[in-house]
Amino acid sequence: MQQLKLFNSYTGKKEIFKPIKKNSVGMYVCGPTVYNNVHLGNCRTFISFDLIFRYLKHLGYKVKYVRNITDVGHLENDSDFGEDRILKKAKIDKIEPMEVAQKYTIDFYETLSLFNVLPPSIEPTATGHIIEQIELIKKIIKKGFAYEVNGSVYFDVLKYDNKYKYGTLTNKKIDELFSNSRELSGQGDKKNLQDFALWKKAEKKHIMRWPSPWSDGFPGWHLECSAMSSKYLGNKFDIHGGGIDLKFPHHECEIAQCEAANDIKPVNYWLHANMLTLNNKKMSKSTGNNILPGEIINGKNNFFSKPINAEVIRFFILQAHYRSVLDISEKALLASEKGFKKLTDSLSLLENIKPSDKTIGFDIENWEKLCYDSMNDDFNSPILISNLFSAVKFINSINDGKSSVSINDLKVLSEKMKLFFFEILGLKITNKSDENINSKTDDLIKLILKYREKSRNERDFKTSDIIRDDLEKLGIIINDTESGTNYNSN
């Protein structure tokens, strides 16, 4: 069997994976900024790292997987002067910023669980690690790579570049990286346009604020990840991941901060997952070119003519390599649905196959090797899936009486098919009748809410309250908001 190789974005090469500590892996992946519902593009990145997490565990590594929640400091346009995304949403919805963070953190968990994504080992929040972030800033100032102006602290990129070189991940020089006007927008108090904020002094009305030696303020987005990764994984760890759109400036800045503080490059292997596109454009919250997983699953969207279930969407995502761009379309989803059915039918067929004296028509040992080789080659799930389809062909031909399988080979085939399907690819087979019941219940609750709305409009508050209380007894909690009534069930 081949050794595990991974494509290290830092060196631009596939490398044999050698963990720092034998049999253990420390992995950090940038988590979501919780100011909106996660779209399917975000989910693709987390499904990609779920595959990697699952496979590393399968290989026997003890994996400490840290994935953060960004609940402060990620400003609009990824800049140092935009509005905090969470604060902006809180103003629009007229709720506390922490209510925004709570609501969309729950949405994030619920959405990922639809796709059978395993929880990480540690899920730290940025607001829960303000002390660590302040300590890290102090360290960087002490080393001479950051400076304070009017209560804000900035990282001195040019000074760092002189000693260590900024841009080693993207392999670009500072001038190339900052040639674009967006990256240079707004200098404010900074010494140089390339500098970035480690700590920002909060304006009077800015309610997300914490005391610090420099001002009442809030931390910079890049700093959060450096503070949380080093706290849980140490100053040097094995794998850092995230979407490819985070390479610059976010990951370049993470490297700079850690190296300035500790005089050591923080990460051995940088892994970047590529983007999911819709109509060949990046799926993104800010441009509106996105689709929510729930809208695909319930079929209520403007893109696809029928509902597609979550396992099929996960399968569709894993049919592309994590480093390739993947465009979602009706045609591609329907092809995945067909393929997924073929695979699950074959798994059921496998349960009823009768073994023969010998295996004819298939080399199980070589097949198993090819499956592992594909995953060991930078987690190549599409090649793994094509190998699973070779097994499907074989299973169908046994069923048709054209091939046969020995008792030992049948055992290996059955075990490995299940291992790759359920454990490593993380796929599931959902009972169709459960899905129908769930969608019917949803329709029924909406019907009841419609009648409650009618009684409220007629000022019959007694009836509307009875409906609310009775639903609450069933664990269905109604929320009346400015944009209408919605519900949560438990």
Alpha-carbon distance of 381 to 358, in angstroms, equals: 30
**226 counts as binding ligand AMP under rule CB under 6 A:** no
Alpha-carbon distance of 63 to 26, in angstroms, equals: 6
Three-state SS for 232?
helix
- The residue among 6 and 471 lying less far from ligand AMP, judged by its C-beta, is 6
Pick out residues in 431-470 that bind Zn ion (CB under 5 A): none
Q: How near is the Cβ of 71 to Zn ion at its closest, in Å? A: 13
**45 counts as binding ligand AMP under rule CB under 6 A:** yes
Of 254, 227, 55, 13, residue with least CA distance to 128: 227
Of 10, 27, 37, 44, which lies in the binding site for ligand AMP, with binding defined by CB under 6 A?
Answer: 44
Of 245, 243, 238, 246, residue with least CA distance to 265: 238
Q: Are 266 and 240 in contact (CB under 8 A)?
A: yes
Helix residue spans in 37-170 (DSSP H):
40-58, 85-93, 97-114, 130-142, 157-163
**30 counts as binding ligand AMP under rule CB under 6 A:** yes
Q: How near is the Cβ of 444 to ligand AMP at its closest, in Å? A: 34
* Burial of 103 from C-beta contacts in 10 A (0-12 / 13-18 / 19+): middle
Q: From 10-18, 40-48, 333-341, 451-459, give the range in contact with ligand AMP by CB under 6 A.
A: 40-48
Q: Are 242 and 250 in contact (CB under 8 A)?
A: yes
Residue 205, token pair as written in the block? 């009305």
Alpha-carbon distance of 48 to 272, in angstroms, equals: 9
Q: If binding means CB under 5 A, how many residues of this protein chain bind Zn ion?
A: 2
Residue 481, token pair as written in the block? 């908001």
Pick out residues in 394-433 that bind Zn ion (CB under 5 A): none
Contacted entry of Zn ion, ligand AMP, none for residue 225, CB cut-off 5 to 8 Å set by kind? Zn ion
Of 130, 275, 350, 424, which lies in the binding site for ligand AMP, with binding defined by CB under 6 A?
Answer: 275
| Host H or E run for residue 184 | helix 181-184
Pick out residues in 8-37 that bind Zn ion (CB under 5 A): 30
Pick out residues in 225-254 that bind Zn ion (CB under 5 A): 225
Contacted entry of Zn ion, ligand AMP, none for residue 241, CB cut-off 5 to 8 Å set by kind? none
Three-state SS for 28?
strand
Contacted entry of Zn ion, ligand AMP, none for residue 130, CB cut-off 5 to 8 Å set by kind? none
**Virtual torsion, Cα 227, 228, 233, 235, nearest 10 deg:** -10
Q: If binding means CB under 6 A, how many residues of this protein chain bind ligand AMP?
A: 16
Of 242, 266, 293, 339, which lies in the binding site for ligand AMP, with binding defined by CB under 6 A?
Answer: 242
Of 276, 371, 391, 471, which lies in the binding site for ligand AMP, with binding defined by CB under 6 A?
Answer: 276
Alpha-carbon distance of 221 to 199, in angstroms, equals: 9
Cis peptide before 249 (omega within 30 of 0): yes
Q: How near is the Cβ of 405 to ligand AMP at its closest, in Å? A: 40
The residue written with tokens 């983007």 in the block is 275
Q: How near is the Cβ of 410 to ligand AMP at its closest, in Å? A: 39
- The residue among 104 and 316 lying less far from Zn ion, judged by its C-beta, is 104
Q: How near is the Cβ of 325 to Zn ion at its closest, in Å? A: 21
Q: From 129-137, 279-287, 388-396, 474-482, give the range in contact with ligand AMP by CB under 6 A.
A: 279-287
Q: Are 201 and 226 in contact (CB under 8 A)?
A: no
DSSP sequence for 127-147: GGGHHHHHHHHHHHHHTTSEE
Pick out residues in 322-341 that bind Zn ion (CB under 5 A): none
**73 counts as binding ligand AMP under rule CB under 6 A:** no
- The residue among 45 and 133 lying less far from ligand AMP, judged by its C-beta, is 45
- The residue among 63 and 225 lying less far from Zn ion, judged by its C-beta, is 225
Q: How near is the Cβ of 93 to ligand AMP at its closest, in Å? A: 18
* Burial of 18 from C-beta contacts in 10 A (0-12 / 13-18 / 19+): exposed
The residue written with tokens 């055992």 in the block is 411
- The residue among 67 and 89 lying less far from Zn ion, judged by its C-beta, is 67
Q: From 50-58, 149-157, 160-168, 238-246, give the range in contact with ligand AMP by CB under 6 A.
A: 238-246
Of 112, 140, 283, 317, which lies in the binding site for ligand AMP, with binding defined by CB under 6 A?
Answer: 283
Alpha-carbon distance of 416 to 1, in angstroms, equals: 15
Total length of the chain: 490
DSSP sequence for 256-288: HHHHHHHSS-SEEEEEEEPPEEETTEE--TTTS
- The residue among 33 and 464 lying less far from Zn ion, judged by its C-beta, is 33
**245 counts as binding ligand AMP under rule CB under 6 A:** yes
Q: How near is the Cβ of 280 to ligand AMP at its closest, in Å? A: 12
Q: How near is the Cβ of 225 to Zn ion at its closest, in Å? A: 3
Give me the residues that bind ligand AMP (CB under 6 A), please. Answer: 30, 32-33, 41-42, 44-45, 242-243, 245-246, 275-276, 282-284
Residues that bind Zn ion (CB under 5 A): 30, 225
